[in-house]
Amino acid sequence: MKLLLVEDDRGDARFLRACLTRSQGSPPDLIHEVCLNDALAVLKEQSFDVVLLDLNLPDASGEACVRAIKQVNPNVPIVVLSGDDSEEYAIGILNEGVQDYLVKWDGEGKGILRAIRYAIERKRTELRLNHLATYDSLTQIPNRHYFVGYLEKAVSRARRHGAMLGLVFLDLDRFKGVNDTLGHHFGDKLLIAASERIRKAVRNGDVVARMGGDEFAVLLEQVPDIHAAEAVARKLTHVLSEPYLLDGHQVNTSVSIGVTIFPNDRGDPDTLIKNADIAMYQAKNSGRNGFKFFTESMHREIVHQHAMAQDMRRALDDGEFFLLYQPQFRLDGGGMCGAEALIRWQRRDGRMMMPNDFIGIAEELGQIIPLGRWVAQTAFLQSVAWQQAGYRPGRVAINVSPRQILHVTFCEELEQLINRYRIDPQLIEIEVTESCLVQDVRTAQRALDNLKHLGFTLAIDDFGTGHSCLDYLRRYPIDTLKLDRSFVRDIGVNRHGPAICRAILSMAESLDMDTVAEGIETEEQLAFLLEHGCRRGQGYYFSRPVSAADIAARLELELAATEQEIKHG
Ligand code: C2E
Ligand code: MG
Ligand code: MG
């Protein structure tokens, strides 16, 4: 144990040395300095297990002594030596980060030794707790808490010196997939390996932190311009997309990176973090494995989306949404066999919003849940109303987005609706997109099985445009494939479209699935689809989406026509 004694009274120093020698049985390994400045000089050169510090020194006194020591070495335990008279003062100073105090010379050597040991132990605990609070236990790099605190200081430093900072946010692509398929053990290894790659890719002084989950952040200090930050982002993208070799397995991932620059993007530390996060999401959305710089337009877009989501909430209460229905027909000339409900939003200022303008935002910001609930209820009630009026509208189809399907109470809510309104679920078709089926396979499977069990008809919308993984056609209880409009549009235009239509139709037939062609606009398209076995269709050729009243009028006509036919044999 190596001690630094800072004490200007040589008599006291001699006494202390003697006590320690007596209780240890050997002379202590001790360096004695009589003033603070000399003590600081040795403390810079050598490391000590403990500093024994008198607070009345020729060149400094009181807390200033403690502060000076801590500044040179924040990790060394300090034991303050005080005279009887200043005991109260010494206790007060414990709050300054001093580990213990000794009242001079009321003790035996043993008491002194014990105090020193305790002080060392206490300091160790303090450092360990500090480490736990500031470091991520898995990767051993700073955690979010530390990073945010550090960023705050760095921002005010940069502000003072007119310097530039780069904040880089990283999120591993498809990490959840690795965790789910290969196990947490692998996930952990991947995170550790990734954190090492990040650390190696940046400069020593740049702080790298784990922000939680598979998210990391790097603070670049002294970036001369945004090109320097871009170079770092490029390098990180590169090193993190190299395959990993973990326990003999090769794992491939990539990373999405968002970068924001202070002061270009302005902002307090919170805003900087938010901006880097937004840029990172943009990078993810534009196909992953790349980086994006935060821009003002991104910011405006986000603000716009939030305002829109807020507005949707109010619009739902105010009844600004309504449904149109696009009739579906049997292609063999058999008449109307159903209708797809399509949402519209008539805003207060008279503007008509189409679903493509707001469904995506509703989905992203959670508004889709109440909105989808309203769509289901409205369409179900409409179906019942048509039937009660004596019509045969066939199946009413509703569109359901991934977030709805994966929502915990989705099936329950639909079940309540069919019970409350006594609806025949056979007459309701639920359209899901391919992306629904691949995001969270287990939850999607459970939801679709439940819906099928309740008696609903299930359709895949826009079939052929998503991640067409044909395996899910076997796995999920799908009744209908809706042939995407883009393929139908290409019939008679190029060779590609009709080939895909044919392939999908023949596959549906062999799997015994029903087919609906979307977006039929011409006679030629209709003829082609009919020839190749498509059963149902919808599109402007037959009818645009129309109001429920228009559908009723059409059904009325059909009803009259059939009665005529019956009358005339
Ligand atoms: P979708 O489910 O594929 O619906 C068909 C879209 O094609 C509708 O656009 C319809 O108006 C349009 N369409 C129909 N026939 C033709 C045609 O012959 N030619 C052309 N060019 N277009 C045709 P809409 O109403 O704008 O809806 C767009 C998408 O928004 C829908 O695509 C659906 O994915 C989504 N959507 C609509 N309503 C809802 C809803 O209530 N909930 C959810 N989650 N999504 C909805
Ligand atoms: Mg649809
Ligand atoms: Mg569609």
Ligand 1 center to residue 347 CA distance, Å?
A: 19
Q: Which atom of ligand 1 is nearest to the CA of 324?
A: 25
For the chain, residues classed under CATH 3.30.70.270 are 144-294
What is the pLDDT at residue 7? Answer: 92
Give the end-to-end CA distance of the chain in Å, rounded to a whole number: 113
Sorted by sequence, the CB contacts under 8 Å of residue 435 that are 6+ apart come out as 402, 466, 467
Q: Which atom of ligand 1 is nearest to the CA of 343?
A: 38
What is the pLDDT at residue 354? Answer: 97
What is the pLDDT at residue 152? Answer: 92
Return the exposure string of 324-333: e unless at least 16 CB atoms fall within 10 Å of the residue's CB, then b.
Answer: bbbbbbebee
* Statement: 307-567 belongs to CATH 1.20.1370.20: no
Report the alpha-carbon distance of residue 207 to residue 199 in Å, rounded: 8
Contact 33, 25 (CB under 8 A): no
Contact 204, 132 (CB under 8 A): no
Q: DSSP string covering 306-352, please?
A: HHHHHHHHHHHHTT-EEEEEEEEEETTTTEEEEEEEEEEEE-TTSPE
Query: Residues with beta carbon < 5 A to ion ligand 2?
Result: 399, 431, 461
For the chain, residues classed under CATH 3.40.50.2300 are 2-134
CATH superfamily entry for domain 144-294: Reverse transcriptase/Diguanylate cyclase domain (3.30.70.270)
What is the pLDDT at residue 227? Answer: 84
pLDDT averaged over 10-residue windows placed end to end, the chain, 569 residues: 92 87 87 95 93 90 88 89 68 71 66 81 80 86 92 90 92 87 89 96 92 95 84 94 89 92 83 92 84 82 86 95 98 92 95 95 92 97 95 96 91 95 95 83 90 96 75 85 93 86 89 94 96 96 97 92 82
Q: Write phi, then psi, for 345 (nearest 5 degrees).
A: -130, 110
Give the pocket of ligand 1 (CB within 6 Å). Answer: 326, 342-343, 354-356, 359, 372, 375, 399-401, 461-462, 485, 518-519, 521, 538-540, 545
Q: Is the pTM of this model over 0.85?
A: no
Among 537, 61, 491, 70, which residue's Cα sits nearest to residue 338? 537
Site to substitute for ligand 1 among 321, 346, 353, 399, most atoms within 8 A of C-beta: 399
Ligand 2 center to residue 527 CA distance, Å?
A: 22
- CATH class for the domain made up of 2-134: alpha beta
The partner residues of 31 in beta bridges, in order of sequence, read 4
Contact 178, 254 (CB under 8 A): no
Q: Write phi, then psi, for 128 (nearest 5 degrees).
A: -65, -45
Q: Tell me: cis bond preceding 477? Omega within 30 of 0 counts.
A: no
Ligand 2 center to residue 449 CA distance, Å?
A: 20
The Cβ-side half-sphere exposure at 217, using a 13 Å CA radius, reads: 26
The partner residues of 330 in beta bridges, in order of sequence, read 335, 536
Q: What tokens does 225 get? A: 């311009």
Ligand 3 center to residue 502 CA distance, Å?
A: 18
What is the pLDDT at residue 134? Answer: 86
Q: Which atom of ligand 1 is nearest to the CA of 541?
A: 18
Q: Which atom of ligand 1 is nearest to the CA of 404?
A: 44
Ligand 2 center to residue 288 CA distance, Å?
A: 27
The Cβ-side half-sphere exposure at 97, using a 13 Å CA radius, reads: 17
